[in-house]
Homo-oligomer: A and B are copies of this chain.
Amino acid sequence: MPVRLKDIAIELGVSVVTVSKVLRNHSDISTETRNRVLERMRQLNYRPNLAARALVTGRTNMIGFVVPDLLHPFFAEVAKGLTKVLRKKGYCLVIASSEEDPLLEKQEIEHLLARRVDALIVASAQSDSSSFVLAGEQKTPFVLIDRFFEGYSADFIGVDDEKVGYLATCHLIEQGCKRIAHIRGPQFSAAHGREAGYRSAMKGIGQPEIIVSTASMDNQADARGYDAMNELLATNPRPDGVFCFNDPNAIGALSAIHDAGLKVPQDIAVIGVGNLHYDSLLRVPLSSVDQDSSALGEEAAKLALKLIESKIKSRPKKIMLEPKLVPRASSLRNQ
């Protein structure tokens, strides 16, 4: 039903090829013909069938984006960064959510691959890399964000998690905390990095490390943080500072502390990661480490586009963005 190249060609008494060339700004078309064609295209509101074009060019101009959870503001913000860059280049974003389920993630990746997306951007929920081997087979470039696999080399963009942990912990130290605990994240690279940063900072003050793990990654990160914090509160002496894997965890921790009748930051200072935009609106505004998710999205998009352009596969890049401390009331004890 929509207008086709052919329709315009017939109407104007030129060939399909000519119209096609005008469409793509080929130089070897007379100005007159070009104008006639353009004019008519506009009148008819012609839009090329991108599926057809994809079939012959082998490029769909689509990028697949797989996230563990769309509701998590971090991924939403990354998505926003992605669209910002991709829109300008005429690409569009196909989003799939894995709901933190490795199996689903794999299915979604295969689906996107069948769709022949030009590149894949994945924040992976899974611990093995078999899906990516698949992508590799089809020569579909992919970039990992936020979470990567130890021992599997791929293009990656994330924040420098070790620095995140270091920044956060040092901040607590500067605020006078002595017994600083870490509520650790699930088995992802980010958790490793942040823990390493914490350890490294703790070495500096010669205090023992106190680490508890959250049970799993799921949609109830705050509940996880609540439980973990209660574990910590049961220890004696209890910590006077806590660095949480992420803000939802930290929010849960805040609740636990509050429920125990203790005060933040006087009794226990708390800091999280993510700088969610409602952190400042919480009962006690939450200190955090900002990951600049939007920039992460933009960088990821740029990298993906570059990978699409370059025929030859270059050595995987690993881009680390700088985290930034955002101190708020939950950790500021010096005033």
Interchain CB contact under 8 A, B281 and A222 = yes
Interchain CB contact under 8 A, A1 and B281 = no
Fill in one digit per residue for A77-101: 1 if any B CB lies within 8 Å of its CB, else 0: 1011001000100101111110000
Interchain CB contact under 8 A, A92 and B92 = no
A255 contacts partner chain B, Cβ-Cβ < 8 Å: yes
Contact partner, A73, options B71, B80, B115, Cβ 8 Å: B71
Q: How long is the Cα–Cα vector from A192 to B208 in the complex, in angstroms? A: 59
Scan residues 22-66 of chain A and give those whose CB is less than 8 A from a CB of chain B: 45, 47-52, 54-55, 60, 62
Contact partner, A51, options B115, B139, B278, Cβ 8 Å: B115
A6 contacts partner chain B, Cβ-Cβ < 8 Å: no
Interchain CB contact under 8 A, B51 and A116 = yes
Scan residues 256-298 of chain A and give those whose CB is less than 8 A from a CB of chain B: 277-278, 281-284
Q: How long is the Cα–Cα vector from A79 to B111 in the complex, in angstroms? A: 18
A138 contacts partner chain B, Cβ-Cβ < 8 Å: yes
Contact partner, A114, options B47, B77, B137, B139, Cβ 8 Å: B47
Residue of B nearest to A75 (CB): B76
A contacts, CB < 8 Å to B: 1-2, 45, 47-52, 54-55, 60, 62, 70-71, 73, 76-77, 79-80, 83, 87, 90, 92-97, 108, 110-116, 134, 137-139, 222, 251, 254-255, 277-278, 281-284
